[in-house]
Amino acid sequence: MHQNSRRIPHFWFNALAISIWLGSFLIGLVLNSEIYTFGESDGHAIIFDVTTLRNTDSEILGKILKTNFQVELINLSGGGTFGLTTFFSLGSNGFIAGGLVKKTIESGLDWHEILRYVMPHSIEFIAFWLSGSMGFELAYHFIVALATGEIEKSVAPYFIIAFLLCTLFTIIAGICEVYLTLHLK
């Protein structure tokens, strides 16, 4: 088994994923918020206004979990697309989140109220960033395997643990969003 002496530490993939999301969040925060609309247009929208749904909490939780798992799978698919789907997924989600925060600020809510509604989503963001990091690292190992013809098996435990953490964070975030955020008064 070939040990890659130039292996990039996990930290840099994490930093890359977070930087892409935060950079596009700031761009979305600065740009005009009129491009954002609420509502599920074709059933495939990444954002929807769950406060307008007339469903039970468990049905809303199911929709949120489905949407968040789709985003994470798109992030992970970057392993086979040289990181492109991961880049676009993190970038678009950060951009949309920034625009939604700007639209919320423009609606007249103060920062205290905005943070009160956004904080439960922080766990969700961690899951997105971690799955993005995994997508970039999978892409890196895919490229190394193509170049050397060898697969580094020592990273498998990291990916299993990171995937399980993403799943756990997504479930916790969905529960917080449905049972905390939607019921805040």
* pLDDT digit string, tens, across residues 127-174: 999 999 999 998 998 888 888 888 777 778 878 888 898 899 889 988
Distances (CA, A) of 62 to 31, 36, 67, 111, 130: 32, 24, 9, 29, 21
**Is 2 domain-assigned?**
no
Output the pTM of the full model.
0.79
The boundaries of the domain holding residue 163 are 12-30+57-183
Query: In this predicted structure, what is the pLDDT of residue 1?
Result: 45
Q: Count the domains in the chain.
A: 1
b/e string for 4-32 if b means 16 or more Cβ within 10 A? eeeeeeeeebbebbbebbbebbeebbeee
**Is 142 domain-assigned?**
yes
Q: How confident is the model at residue 52 (pLDDT cuts 50, 70, 90)?
A: low
